[in-house]
Amino acid sequence: MLGGLSYNIIIFKNMKKTFLVIAFLCFCAMPIFAQNCMIFGKISVPEMEKKKVYLKNMNTGATLDSTMVFDGAFAIGANVSEPFVGYLQTERLSQVNYYYLLFVAEPGRIYCDMVTDSLSGTPLNDRYYSMMKQYNYEVSVLNALTTQMNQAISMPADVAKEFADKFAKQDKVVMGILKSAYEENRTNPVGALAMENYLDWMVNYEAAKRAMEGAAPVVTSYQRLAEKYAAMERLSHTAVGKPYKDLDLVDQKTGKKVKLSKYVEGKVALVDFWASWCRPCRKEIPNIAKLHEKYGKRKDVVIISLNVWDKPEPQAQAIKDMGMVWKQLTDPTRKATDTYAVDGIPQILLIGKDGRILARDLRGDEIEPALRKAIGE
């Protein structure tokens, strides 16, 4: 086996022919080693045997190479002039969806394990793996504190404060790891990967904006980071306390074009972004139904289900099946989720009588208290 290519040498009596066959086979095997970025991977999963692994550019989505897994290992490569964020992805399996691993494509030999997510062999990948190993450990500590806090529902005030202090301290530790990694790698893809994770811990767009000031092109051009940053900017325009944004929608019942403002002006409006295929969305529908039954007749309250990322037929069937008798609007242009920076559903937001957004990301038992407070009960 050479670079993932197996071959047999056929011996002929004529020595010239023997030489020519060997030379041809060596020539065929050369391209994989001609690539200046080589990845030697392990994936010790029986289902992956003789399955494909793809090497892709994260920014462009282009597949740069592919190979097959033999004996739990593979070799794959690409020619790299400037380091960039790449990823390895297996073909989809029956029991496991797929395996996926981020790495930095740079000249040299990279060694990885797609089951344990380990990386080594080149300077930037050594830095990236070191950062993520430390980051994942500290996040696990933070998650353990969160679990303890949730389990101790009726803890004494002094104990609760102690937990809160520990949580705040650990939160700073996690952010510190990412901040340091970014500052040490401002001009390479590790900095982009660190900043991508760092933005997840930012409390608002202004904090993210300050963190991104002076970022090098290799950071700002990283697509996933740019998309996340843009989403935070959009969210800043529809964050709690900001005026709601009007939308061009369609009344699901009549099929007529309508504006969101037609229903929400001067009222307390509960708007639920949902889709028929979304299980968490359907789980929230009974909560919305109870609120409609209780507050639906009030002239100063409106409850709206705004269907997104869906098709008319399953939407109509879901509305019928779940008895959704309150106002049903739909967004055929798919601009509503962009306007409100919705990257996951359900997204339930509350708009006050003055047109300002009072709450976002409401769930379950949180919804009614927020609604009651908004109407002054």
92 — pLDDT class (breaks 50, 70, 90) = confident
| C-alpha 242 chain-centroid distance | 25
Return the CATH number of the domain spanning residue range 248-375.
3.40.30.10
CB atoms under 10 Å from CB of 357, counted, come to 20
Instruction: Give the tokens for residue 92.
Output: 């989809």
Helix (H, G, I), strand (E, B) or coil at 244: coil
Contact assessment for residue 357 and residue 342, using Cβ atoms and an 8 Å cutoff: no
Kindly list the domain boundaries of the chain, sorted by start residue: 35-118, 123-237, 248-375
Instruction: Give pLDDT tens digits for 237-272.
Output: 898 999 999 999 999 999 999 999 999 999 999 999
Task: Indicate whether 285 pLDDT > 80.
Answer: yes
User: Going edge to edge, which strands form the sheet with 73-78?
Assistant: 73-78, 37-42, 108-113, 118-120
The structure's pTM equals 0.68
153 — pLDDT class (breaks 50, 70, 90) = low
Contact assessment for residue 90 and residue 114, using Cβ atoms and an 8 Å cutoff: yes
Nearest to 371 by CA among 251, 257, 307, 288: 288
CB atoms under 10 Å from CB of 159, counted, come to 11
Instruction: Give pLDDT tens digits for 155-214.
Output: 777 877 888 888 889 999 999 999 999 999 999 999 999 999 998 888 678 888 888 888
Instruction: Give the tokens for residue 153.
Output: 């529902």
Q: Residue 361, by phi and psi: left (phi above 0), alpha (psi -120 to 50) or beta? A: left
What topology is assigned to 35-118 in CATH?
Immunoglobulin-like (2.60.40)
Which residues lie below 8 Å from residue 184, measured CB to CB, with a gap of 6+? 127, 191
Please write down the HEC assignment for all residues of 277-319.
CCHHHHHHHHHHHHHHHHHCCCCCEEEEEEECCCCHHHHHHHH
Task: Indicate whether 279 pLDDT > 80.
Answer: yes
Task: Indicate whether 119 pLDDT > 90.
Answer: yes
Q: Give the highest mean pLDDT range of 190-204, 215-229, 292-306.
A: 292-306
- Burial (CB count within 10 angstroms: exposed 0-12, middle 13-18, buried 19+), residue 344: exposed
Q: Give the highest mean pLDDT range of 33-42, 127-136, 163-172, 333-342.
A: 127-136
pLDDT at position 377: 79
Task: Indicate whether 283 pLDDT > 80.
Answer: yes
340 — pLDDT class (breaks 50, 70, 90) = very high
CB atoms under 10 Å from CB of 353, counted, come to 17
Instruction: Give pLDDT tens digits for 318-335.
Output: 999 999 999 999 998 889
H or E stretch including 139? helix 123-151
Task: Indicate whether 141 pLDDT > 90.
Answer: yes
In the predicted model, what is the mean pLDDT of residues 352-374? 94
Residue with token string 């939407």:
315
- Burial (CB count within 10 angstroms: exposed 0-12, middle 13-18, buried 19+), residue 186: middle
Nearest to 132 by CA among 107, 106, 112, 148: 112
pLDDT at position 33: 54
pLDDT at position 5: 34
